[in-house]
Amino acid sequence: MASTDTGNTLDLVLERTTDLPSSLLWKAWTTPEHLVHWFVPKPWQTVHCEIDLRPGGIFRTIMRSPDNEEFDNAGCYLEVVPERRLVWTDALQPGYRPAAKPFMTAILTFEEQGGGTRYVARALHKDVADRDQHIAMGFESGWGTVFDQLVAYLRTMKA
């Protein structure tokens, strides 16, 4: 379930639990060859992914809509704690250069729990307008669908 009940009304949060280990979730989030398979809700596609997994390194995806429009999204990692925490933002470009049109900062946490993982995705916004735009874009259903696609993809990897 997504919510804004995080102590800050500008945050949107998606929490899920899976029986998969955090190491697999981490691998799928930090390896371009894996991320392109599940990162956007179908029928959208991720057609390119670039990752330099270090603070200040690039996190870039190019998403293609069902109408074949492409959307280039680039930002930089702020924090990388292997298999535990991943933070990136589009407010900064690689090397911490300020971005022209920031939208959000994402914080992912992966917590081992009874042989599985508690997964929390938090999107931080600069103002109510950006938060509301993200809600209107379908934050809960979109990020929830992406999590389901991630888990399904990882299950095919394990098979």
Domains and CATH numbers, the chain: 2-158 (3.30.530.20)
Q: What is the pLDDT of residues 21-41, one digit of tens each?
A: 999 999 999 999 999 999 999
Asked whether the whole model's pTM tops 0.85, one would answer yes
Instruction: State which amino acid sits at residue 109.
Output: T
Please give the helix or strand (H or E) that residue 23 lies within, else none. Answer: helix 22-30
Q: Does 2 score more than 90 pLDDT?
A: no
**pLDDT higher than 70, residue 58:** yes
Q: CA Rg, the chain, in Å?
A: 15
**What is the C-alpha separation between 75 and 41, in angstroms, rounded?**
20
> pLDDT at position 102, please?
87
> How much is the average pLDDT of 51-69?
97
Q: What is the pLDDT of residues 70-119, one digit of tens each?
A: 999 999 999 999 999 999 999 999 999 999 888 899 999 999 998 899 99
